[in-house]
Structure 1
């Protein structure tokens, strides 16, 4: 399908694509030139234009995911993917040149979780792009068309990439799981790539927001988006003062440390909702059972997003209600720099890798 005679000179990259890959958990990613695999039947072929870099990519590169011991190396990370359709099977609505987001969690559609509408909790996952399947730190990717979401004009590939995870994950946590309503008081603990967008979405929902972080630079940007921004040692008192002495209606916890979860529990009021987005292997959070039961505290996890939630996140960006927070756009070959900056906490919002150029044909 990809024989040299069938490919135009401008598409020779499809023979040997540039890719930044995990070859050893103790070493930096390496630049490889990988042959493009045959496109599976019924799949579209996309040119990767941009790929956001998430802290999950750090954990994947360092072997710190639950599946790391069984992951076959070399592995290509990257799950926040904006691409351009180059080939699509007949009968679908995509055409060559369309810009799309990749929905990276490919549920089976048949298991009990998928059948009740929770494909993000699929029991028989068919693909997990960038996690257990090759991801967007490469120039091309085969994707089932039903896992592609169209992008409206006016959103650049670099702005679009973080929508697929950072913004969509924040949307699900704030809107679907926390069910934030106008006038409520909401805390966001950890204003990184997900948290800064959670602040914006909560504000767009009509809530007042307290943003908590240890980095003054992130707090300053949270203020720009309309939040009251505080350091962790100020958070509990601020929550009581803003919440008439009883605390906040909801807290979005994006860090996953034991002490930040404990802070979130102390910040919420009776009948409040704690939504956990961040997690770390081995950490155990807890709550005193009398408070949990007698004060009707809701503890709820929030994992990624459903496809319709990603589409809602796209609309929020298209309408100017949420601004993708991009720290810097780097070339694909700078993937290690991006991972190191995330690991050191030096990124404000998302770092994005520019992978390919949009042809628009």
Structure 2
């Protein structure tokens, strides 16, 4: 029996905390829609940014964009051979029909970014957002694969084009960065990391990084001539940008292969640089945001094979504000997910 209401963590404009609503209505399905019982939902720094006013939104909706679930009801026109009841699926943030609002990116009207998301017991979505989860992948890992897994994979493989023999420096070993370390290792790179947290540096070393620096150590290292081929920055503030440039600037310009600086993180800072420095150094600056369905398929496959391991801890959905506060305070190593009671 499917209920008509559910527990949900709701974004209310002007609030810096989500509102827990135990009677949030479950609307009726459209013909092409699917009702999923949410199994797990990852908590992302993007949600911290939304709740602190970096992205203002006048809409009220269920937050949470990183998740997985099991179909429990299909719309009249959904092919039951294509979407199987009882199967675990990771959920892509955006489908093929999503467009941005007010000239913004498509993500601004995706799941958990305007549309009701996964901080709830149920979610309504469409078949083109669903990717089946291979055997052996836990709901917690399947949830974080849908954003952290996709975004980190896309940054490493498609934006940075990491290949065997590359020296890669990764900034920020959080929910995305700890996966990026493993992806880069998988593609044959020698991996270095920078993070101010000792626990994050230890995790990176455990996952295969060669060296792990704090900010002062990396400053001294680059002053001594340390260079890499590629940097991937999951923090993206002025300090990490300047350290990335210092690690890339010493490379010889060797077209078509040039030093590459990939920005993935989002900060409120305006990054400043000298254009002559960029031109003379040959550093190529790229932005990377989310990724295609193929990146989710690849991430899930690596999780299933055990090549990449998700460092993840779970809390009940009722604790979502606590987890967001921990993210604000940079207290989380790896990723945390929240588990709706209905999935217990």
TM-score, normalised by the number of residues in structure 2: 0.90
1:22 matched to which residue of 2? 11
- Equivalence for 1:136: 118
1:349 equivalenced with 2:334 (yes/no): yes
Q: Is the 8 A contact 1:40 1:142 kept in 2?
A: no
Cα distance in 2 for residues equivalent to 1:165 and 1:329: 16
- 1:251 maps to which residue? 231
Q: CA deviation at 1:291?
A: 2.5
Cα distance in 1 between the residues matched to 2:221 and 2:226: 11
| C-alpha distance after superposition, 1:277-311 (max 9, x if no partner) | 01123x22133222211222100000011111111
Contact persistence 2:95–2:128 (CA under 8 A): no
Given candidates 196, 215, 221, the residue that maps to 1:232 is 215
Relative to structure 1, is the Cα distance of residues 170 and 27 closer, same or farther in structure 2, using a 3 angstrom cutoff? Answer: closer
Q: Which residue of 2 aligns with 1:318?
A: 304
Deviation at 1:276, TM superposition (A): 0.1
Q: Is the 8 A contact 2:12 2:59 kept in 1?
A: no
Larger deviation, residues 45-54 vs 98-107: 98-107
1:171 to 2:153 alignment: yes
Cα distance, 1:246 vs. partner?
6.1
Unaligned runs of 5+ in 2: 253-257
Question: Following superposition of structure 1 onto structure 2, how do residues 98-113 of structure 1 map, counting pairs within 5 Å?
Answer: 98-108=87-97
Aligned to 1:300: 286
Shift of 1:122: 9.1
Per the TM alignment, residue 26 of structure 1 is displaced from its structure 2 partner at its CA by 3.7
Give a deviation string over 1:95-131, Cα, whole Å, max 9, x none.
110100110123438x9x9xxxxxxx99767941111
> CA 1:237–1:126 in 2, change beyond 3 Å: closer, same or farther?
closer
Match of 2:286, SS state, is strand
CA distance in 1, matches of 2:261, 2:174: 18
Per the alignment, residue 137 of structure 2 pairs with: 155
Separation in 2, partners of 1:104, 1:44: 15
Of the structure 1 ranges 144-153 and 263-272, higher mean CA displacement relative to structure 2 is found in: 263-272
Map 1:265-304; keep pairs closer than 5 Å: 265-268=245-248, 269-270=251-252, 271-281=258-268, 283-304=269-290
Q: Which deviates more from structure 2 when the two are superposed, residues 38-47 or residues 228-237?
A: 228-237
Residue 97 and residue 239 in structure 1: after superposition, are their counterparts in 2 closer, same or farther (change >3 A)?
Answer: farther
Q: Work out the CA distance in 2 between the residues paired with 1:37 and 1:101.
A: 22
Matches within 5 A, 1:189-200: 189-200=171-182
Contact in 1 for aligned 2:121/2:343 (Cα 8 Å): no
Measure the CA separation in 1 of the matches of 2:109 and 2:95.
Answer: 5
The equivalent of 2:84 in structure 1 is 95
- 8 A Cα contact 2:93 2:107, kept in partner: no
Which of 324, 331, 337 is 2:316 aligned to? Answer: 331
Match of 1:31 in 2: 20
Give the Cα–Cα distance (whole angstroms) in 2 for the partners of residues 126 and 330 of structure 1.
26
1:180 aligned to 2:169?
no
1:27 CA drift (Å): 4.7
- Equivalent pairs counted in the alignment come to 330
- Matching residue of 1:47: 37
Q: Is the 8 A contact 2:121 2:342 kept in 1?
A: no
1:56-83 CA-partner distances (Å, limit 9, x unpaired): 1112223321xx1x4312x211011110
Contiguous gaps of at least 5 residues in structure 1 = 1-7, 114-120
TM (normalized to structure 1)? 0.86
Q: Which residue of the partner structure matches residue 5 of structure 1?
A: none
2:255 aligned partner: none
Report how far residue 257 of structure 1 moved: 1.2
Secondary structure of the structure 1 residue equivalent to 2:14: coil
Separation in structure 1 between the aligned mates of residue 108 and residue 280 of structure 2, nearest angstrom: 42
Name which of 198, 216, 232 aligns with 1:216.
198
Cα distance in 1 between the residues matched to 2:65 and 2:266: 18
SS in 2 for 1:105: coil
TM superposition shift of 1:28: 2.5
